[in-house]
Amino acid sequence: MANRMKTYFLLGLLTVLFVLIGSIWGKEGMIIAFLFAIAINWISYFFSDKIVLAMYRAKQISYNDYPVIHNIVGELTQKAGLPMPKLYIVPSATPNAFATGRDPNHAAVAVTSGILDLLTENELKGVLAHELGHVKHRDILIATVAATIAGAITMLARMMMFFGGGGNRRQGNIIGLAGILILLILAPIAAMIIQMAISRSREYLADEEGAQLAGNPSYLANALRKLAAGVRRAPMNSSNTATAHMFIVSPFSGKAVLSLFSTHPPVEERIRRLESLRI
């Protein structure tokens, strides 16, 4: 229920923000911005998972493609009392994984090709159990919607910069300048929205749930240790910072601005907590 309320709050916040910026163009601009916000809200709620999967060129996999993954997830979902999610492979050398969807009945779990080359079967089981922990606790909707909203804000600023170049020269310059200013402060604003929506405590809860489901905390602890090192060796392209919070470990190795988007607790602390669990 708490995650659902956060989702509604974020969608409402997006609407208000769009209308306020649309007011630069007067009453007509406010109406257009409101209609645009409604469309984005509808897309965010029902299709944000598909947007994120498409963003990473994720491909749905069948049992014949990857029987090991299907067998692991089938075992874990049965144990957790969850429906079988759709499974995807992301063509990336960065070892990572994420879950998305609006509820357990519309969930998807994706792993990168890099993770399959790095982890043992038991470590992969720990990672997949963690992602199913997010599905079980319904963290996936708020995480996916937050990513879509952060992307929508960036898109809005870029549209302002583009349209600022046309029409009345003076008015165009003002609108273009406003777009540039918004773009300059978008990173911390988008980061704040995601930080507000995604609690670091949810990662600890998903870690604990994953350890329980997998049957051994060391599976996930060892996987996290390898994943952190693997990301340092082969980080993802930093153009998709708004979706960083969805992955089991931060997919970027950079500091500075990228650290604003960090919603992950320190890997060392997550490993310490897992190794202290008694199952």
Known catalytic residues?
131
Q: Which of 249, 244, 277 has the alpha carbon at shortest distance from 265?
A: 249
Burial of 216 (0-12, 13-18, 19+ CB in 10 A): middle
Q: How far apart are CA 18 and CA 198, in angstroms?
A: 22
Q: Where are the alpha helices (DSSP H) in the chain?
A: 2-22, 26-55, 67-80, 113-118, 121-136, 140-163, 169-197, 200-214, 217-233, 267-276
Three-state secondary-structure class, residue 277: coil
The CA distance from 29 to 37, in Å, is: 12
Residues 140, 100: contact at Cβ < 8 Å? Answer: yes
Asked whether the beta carbons of 183 and 86 are under 8 A apart, the reply is no
Are 34 and 169 a contacting pair, CB within 8 Å? no
- The residue type found at 247 is F
Q: Tell me phi and psi for residue 111, to 5 degrees.
A: -125, 150
Q: Measured between alpha carbons, how far is residue 24 from residues 19, 34, 72, 151, 223 in Å?
A: 9, 13, 53, 21, 50
DSSP alpha helix (H) spans, 81-120: 113-118
d(CA 16, CA 37): 8
